[in-house]
Amino acid sequence: KTRGIRDFPLKVHIVRKSDGTGGMNLFDLKGIVENLNARFINANIRFIILDNIHYIDSDESYDFDTEYEERLCEKSDESNVINIYFFNSIHTETENICGYTYFPKGKDRILMTNSCALNGSTLPNEFGHYFMLYHTIQGSSVGGEELIDQSNCMSAGDKVCDTPADPNLSGKVDEDCNYNGEMTDKNGMRYA
């Protein structure tokens, strides 16, 4: 028996300058959603943009400070859909970021910068987090170190057994993503 495709509606909020200029254009938005659908269709997930795109014309929010998320988003969020906000930039207290979201039971909200949404990988990454996926390079920060023999793959690392154990090899791989180091897990087995 096969599962049917599950549609997830997207309420798109495009933040522009106060004069209505700037912001994500609709042609790029269409391409972004096509990319999302291509990446998630194997999981029987499809994203559908709701017809009424919400434009927020605000110089104050165009370059967004996360400190003001609730003030902006709480009045704009639509219930029972994934609310996705596109900004020119996003700033935390200490750095500029591409975007962020919440794990399940959090807010049904994804916040993205326009440029990172267009790069083809950051927005699908945030949707993965929205669906409770950790990074495959999660390492030991969640549930401890994942063992190479996968005996603890459901409770450690990224908590997914179809990805190899990875103690955060990010930056330790060649241009083809091959790891050639000597790191071992607690059982003395080498990471690959």
How does pLDDT run across 8-23, given as a tens digit for each residue? 999 999 999 999 999 9
Q: What percent of the chain is modeled with pLDDT above 70? A: 93
* Residue 159, pLDDT score: 73
- pTM, whole model, 2 decimals? 0.81
**Order of strands, sheet of 63-65, starting from the edge strand that comes earlier in the sequence:** 63-65, 89-91, 96-97
Q: How many CB atoms lie within 10 A of CB 90?
A: 21
Q: How far apart are CA 11 and CA 50, in angstroms?
A: 6
Q: For residue 124, what are the CA distances in angstroms to 5, 28, 37, 87, 130? A: 18, 15, 9, 17, 10
109-113/99-101 β-pairing? antiparallel
Q: How far apart are CA 125 and CA 103, in angstroms?
A: 12
Query: 29-43, 57-71, 93-107, 164-178: which range is least confident on average?
Result: 164-178
Angle CA 125–109–78, to nearest 5 = 145
6-16/82-87 β-pairing? parallel
* Residue 137, pLDDT score: 65
Residue 47 scores a pLDDT above 90:
yes
* Residue 70, pLDDT score: 94
Name the average pLDDT for the chain. Answer: 88
Q: For residue 128, what are the CA distances in angstroms to 36, 122, 158? A: 10, 10, 12
Rank 2-11, 33-42, 137-146, 158-167 by mean pLDDT and report only the highest.
33-42
